[in-house]
Amino acid sequence: MQPKTVLITGCSSGIGRAAALAFLDEGWTVYATARDPSDLETLGEAGCNTDRLDVTNQDDIDRVVDRILDENGVISCLVNNAGYGQFGPIEDVPIEQVEKQYAVNVYGPHRLIRAVLPHMRREERGTVINISSVAGRVVFPGGGVYCGSKFALEAMSDALRAELEPFGIDVVLVEPGPVTTNFSKRAGNEIEAADRSGAYEDFYGIFDDTEAIGGDGPGAVSPQRVAEDILNAASATKPVARVPVGTAARIGVLARFIPDAIRDQLWSVIRRFT
């Protein structure tokens, strides 16, 4: 039986690194990628195949996909994990930062999906796993750009799942809540790019004073916990469409059923008491 092969993006740390090790432990052939190959040295020592891959660079994508097919002849699973969070009030986020956010979180997965699907369709099997977030179902003030990118990824995945069903290819959205990774640290760095208008200092105060966006707050799960669900989705005969990871995610996605007027009032109350 042909070994299963997985391509994972964003493996320099966190969920991507944990996923690479989880697949490796289960006997998969793993191609772990990141923008900086030096971040992948320990994964290479563990037995992963490593390579440079910037999801905004089509040449990188084509080279890595061609390499995998040349060396193994199959891509059983694609895990679109690379991503980051651009936070800030909509008015304060420069258009260049919005474009950068979508280039990584939306166009990157789209590029990779287009690169691997011709092969998966020929094989009439495969799994595409897109790492979304509870923020792909529920938006919050200061998260419009990031949540928008995840909403877009969710919409693309829903359409793709129906489009690929005749070819035997599965599409799964993994939706973590807070995760104990460096996500919040980078989010803090990215918010420095905001062009502060002076109108939203209450937001910046909340952002600076809380750890709610990061992975140290209540309900945070480990990257290994998320990796377990990614591996299970890749291994399942008939995976579910969405996998909320952790209690915070399972509860958080329910907020989309709250009427808009009530949700807006809740944000107003939160703002007054923080």
* Catalytic annotation, residues: 146
In Å, how far from its chain's centre is CA 203?
25
Contact indicator for 154, 139 with CB cutoff of 8 Å: no
Contact indicator for 20, 82 with CB cutoff of 8 Å: no
CA 114, CA 220: separation in Å to the nearest integer? 33
CA 132, CA 153: separation in Å to the nearest integer? 7
- The helix/strand/coil state of 140 is coil
SS3 letters across 133-182: CHHHCCCCCCCHHHHHHHHHHHHHHHHHHHHHHHHCEEEEEEEECCECCC
In Å, how far from its chain's centre is CA 246?
15
The answer for 8, left when phi > 0, alpha when psi is -120 to 50, beta otherwise, is beta
State which amino acid sits at residue 152: A
Report which of 181, 186, 175 is spatially closest to residue 247, judged by C-alpha positions: 175
Report which of 265, 178, 259 is spatially closest to residue 217, judged by C-alpha positions: 178
- DSSP letter (8 states) at residue 193: T
Report which of 135, 137, 119 is spatially closest to residue 127, judged by C-alpha positions: 119
CA 169, CA 126: separation in Å to the nearest integer? 5
Contact indicator for 172, 241 with CB cutoff of 8 Å: yes
